Chains A and B, each alone.
Chain A
Amino acid sequence: MTDTTSAEETVKEPSMITQKHMIAANYDRLTSAPESGTKVVSTYVPGNLNELIMCFDMVSNLPEINAINNAMRKKSGGYITEAEKQGHSEDVCTYVKADIGLMSKGAIAPNGKPIPPPDLLLLSYTGCFTFMKWFELLRDEFGCETVMLHIPYEGDGIVTEHMRDYVVKQLKDEVIPALERVSGVKFDIDRLREYLRKSAAAEDDLVWVLQSAKNKPSPIDAFFGGVFYIGPAFTAFRGTDEAIEYYVQLRAEVEDRLARGAGPITPEGEMGPEKYRLVVEGTPNWTSFREFWKMFYDEGAVVVASTYTKVGGMYDFGFRHDPDRPLESLADYCLGCYTNRNLVQRVEILENYLEEYEADGLLINSIKSCNSFSAGQLLMMREVETRTGKPAAFIETDLVDPRYFSASNVRNRMESYFQMIEQKRRGGGSATVAA
């Protein structure tokens, strides 16, 4: 079932290998864009319009994914230092600095070739103000065309017809004309419908995989494993046959583990007995990803649901891309991303996860340099605690700056948290972990 032949002796699911090849192929496509004449669009994960971009034969460059990739390959620290040398302060979002630093150092992709400058900066504004500033910096750097899709914030917790119409109007009047202009390809709505149909098929399997964590034991880790599972659906593969095939493969793997009553695959193989079921709010730390994960699986803790795996679309509450309402469903997709939800909705989502997935508690990994995500997290935590009566804990790390992950401190808090859950379970005051 698993592959242990890689250099780091990391155990990988076959679907992870598949995804690795997919990502590598996309980087090859991206870096060879100048030779192939393919136009490059830079865009962000939350609210990305991948199906629409594909209609114009363009290739996507996703700056956060580059930052994450470089963090996991231990390169982001150097890039951040480079950006700081240029005057970006210590407290600025480290995705931004990792990207600025990457650009300054030749924009080398994992395949060793330079990422070409973008022909278009396409910003779907889904709640992160920093994204806007980030593209401002990139526009200044590259002087290319920029188009912004403004997604109204779900401040009242609902999507109104007006909001949807407003987004669709922008797609028609601003985004599609810009894509046509830059690519030279005429928009074909039937082509979009076909991609959206494929998206929906992949989304069904993604949701099945994520919801498999409702089983006990959970066959997946919905945070550390989850970030891999969402990969194709959240990035440049949504709407492709490859994504459909990836999810069929993934689902078969999970079905197999489920049938065997097995737990998630960790970098060190199948997880041991499941002792704690957690819900996680917040972004992962990417520079010490494996070390962080180990603090969970060594203790028998599995993440059964996470909100981070919803930043690129909340499919588990029923949304699907819809070929019959192509532009409207793109609008609904952008409006519904986790990053565009208000605090009340986020509390409800977390509460739902804690109950539906029968979790023991909530852990918030807060990112100091990410104000749009972190603001209100303590209030959310308290509210979720009150509503569910389940214990919560709060830790702070960073996205891709290796300096801000203090392993001993995080471990200390995690240990305390696990013992706290245990103590609460017993209700008698002893925190001894039952074997």
Chain B
Amino acid sequence: MRCFIGIDLGSTTTKAVLMDEDLGVLGRGITNSRSNYDTATAVAKQEAVVDTRLTLFRRGLADDAGIPDVDDFMDRVAQYFRLEQFLEQLADLHETCSRFVEGGRFQNREKEAMETLEIIFGRIGDEAPALYAPGAARKSDFFRDLAGSRFMQIGGDVAKLVGLPFDLLLNVYDKSIIEVENRPPSGDLTGKFGRALDRVLGEMPDLDADTKKMHATLEKALAQELDETYVVGTGYGRVTLPFPKEHIRSEILCHGLGAHMMYSGTRTVLDIGGQDTKAIQVDPAGIVENFQMNDRCAAGCGRYLGYIADEMNMGLHELGPLAMKATKSVRINSTCTVFAGAELRDRLALGEKREDILAGLHRAIILRAMSIISRSGGIRDQFTWTGGVANNPAAARELEKLVRENYGDVTINIDPASIYTGALGAATFAQRAVINGEGAAS
């Protein structure tokens, strides 16, 4: 089948959306942008392909009467596929680390180091299924974050136990993770999907399903040819994409069109990305009429939250839920990220509660965004918020409050897949380039 792919190379994450020729989204993929956009693109694209395979598998399953709750079943398959992927990369990381165990720094303790790594990676691997069990919460979905935090924790404990300086192992880990992360992922989907399916079926012995038939359905979904007909890239790293110029679109246009695709009544779009806040006005067809972006300073963008998360030693995804527990909002400035960090420490020292300070920080971000929206001409009905920060509940709460105060009763759209809006717009441009002949088809 003909497929159209949009890739959004953001400063923090890289997103991919794969769609069919009827503009139906088949799969989405995301990864951290690293410092290597080529790998990030390859990974995000592969993730979107994986997601597409899941979609196709699910479509194949639809007729199968043996599964009472298909959503739950598919969630499990997806999670266990991620587990298989994690284990595969973990094995790669282990092997890479082993290769770096050499040189004078180890002072003939190489054997000990190898054995220690064996124990550490063994434990991380043993713990992994729990990370992907139904209902489990993870701080991040990226291998680097997950493996890194476990290596720090388990590695530190084990090294202490065997009397090996942890620094030595950390050094080996640091070198290896970069290599592993920048290695294009293995293409063996069949094995991983098969094992994931078996794991789910093993967990659900009561399922009255023909496992053989199910494997056949999976194989059919994996065998379906996905013809990469046209790819469009957008986002901050778009200039680094090895694409011809006509395959590259600005993120303004992509977010405008993506928001229109998600909610056709969209007239004003806010996108809070890693380093940009964009306010975009679009016409009823999703064509950009005006846009404004932050200039000179990126305070109040996604990275602001990332910095705060680091300052508070928390995961980025944990900030919003904690801020939701606030009973009041502490005033924090929104003009400088570093100063906000200083204010945060100051407020903590004064005994303010973490959740109240975080509520203030979320308000600060939205105040900044409101100013950029004003510059672009204000909010028109409907208003669609895109980008990763949109899924932060505390930010969404503040935004809603301020939008109501300033613009009254307007429809506010926040899609759960808001982080993919730019990639969705790009994929739509790719589809149009071929189907509508709007651009030189490759």
Contacts and interface: CB of A to CB of B under 8 A. Distances in A.
B287 to A, nearest CB: 5
Contact of B257 (A404, A427, A429): A429
Interface in B247-300: 249-253, 257, 285-293, 295-296
B246 A432 contact: yes
Contacts of A404: 296
B438 A428 contact: yes
Interface in B389-442: 428-429, 432-433, 436, 438-440
Contacts of A393: 290-291
Nearest to A406: B296
Contacts of A139: none
A431 B296 contact: no
A431 B429 contact: yes
A419 B249 contact: yes
Interface in A358-406: 368, 378, 382, 385, 391-396, 404, 406
Given A378-B375, A385-B290, A428 B436 contact: yes
Given A385-B290, A429-B286, A423 B246 contact: no
B296 A391 contact: no
Interface in B330-380: 375, 377
A428 B285 CA distance: 8
Contact of B438 (A392, A416, A430): A430
A273 to B, nearest CB: 15
B236 interface: yes
A406 B429 CA distance: 28
B241 to A, nearest CB: 13
Nearest to B252: A416
Classify chain B: how many residues form its interface, as a range: 20 to 34
Interface string A61-89: 00000000000000000000000000000
Contacts of A392: 290
A406 B275 CA distance: 14
A396 B296 contact: yes
Given A416-B291, A426-B438, A431 B249 contact: yes
A139 B251 CA distance: 50
A133 interface: no
A394 B375 contact: yes
13 contacts: A368-B296, A378-B375, A392-B290, A404-B296, A412-B293, A415-B250, A424-B289, A426-B438, A427-B287, A428-B285, A428-B436, A430-B438, A432-B433
Contacts of B291: 393, 416, 420
Nearest to A389: B289
B254 to A, nearest CB: 9
Interface of A: 368, 378, 382, 385, 391-396, 404, 406, 409, 412-413, 415-416, 419-420, 423-424, 426-433
B245 interface: yes
- CB-CB nearest 10 A-B residue pairs: A430-B438, A432-B439, A416-B250, A416-B252, A396-B295, A420-B288, A419-B250, A431-B253, A415-B250, A430-B432
A7 to B, nearest CB: 30
B33 to A, nearest CB: 15
Contacts of B436: 428, 430
A378 B296 CA distance: 17
A184 to B, nearest CB: 50
Contacts of A415: 250
A409 B273 CA distance: 14
Interface string B150-174: 0000000000000000000000000
Given A430-B438, A432-B429, 4 more contacts: A392-B290, A395-B295, A404-B296, A409-B295
B433 A429 contact: no
A419 B253 contact: yes
Contacts of A385: 289-290
A390 to B, nearest CB: 10
Contacts of A427: 285, 287
Nearest to B378: A382
A122 to B, nearest CB: 35
B273 to A, nearest CB: 12
Contacts of B295: 395-396, 406, 409
Given A394-B375, A416-B253, A423-B287, A433 B432 contact: no
Nearest to A411: B239
Contact of A413 (B293, B296, B375): B293
B250 A430 contact: no
A420 B252 contact: yes
A378 B377 CA distance: 9
Contacts of A396: 295-296
Nearest to B260: A429
B252 to A, nearest CB: 4
B151 to A, nearest CB: 34
A53 to B, nearest CB: 39
B96 to A, nearest CB: 33
A395 B432 CA distance: 30
Nearest to B298: A409
A423 to B, nearest CB: 5
B253 A423 contact: yes
Nearest to B377: A382
Nearest to B288: A420
Contacts of A395: 295
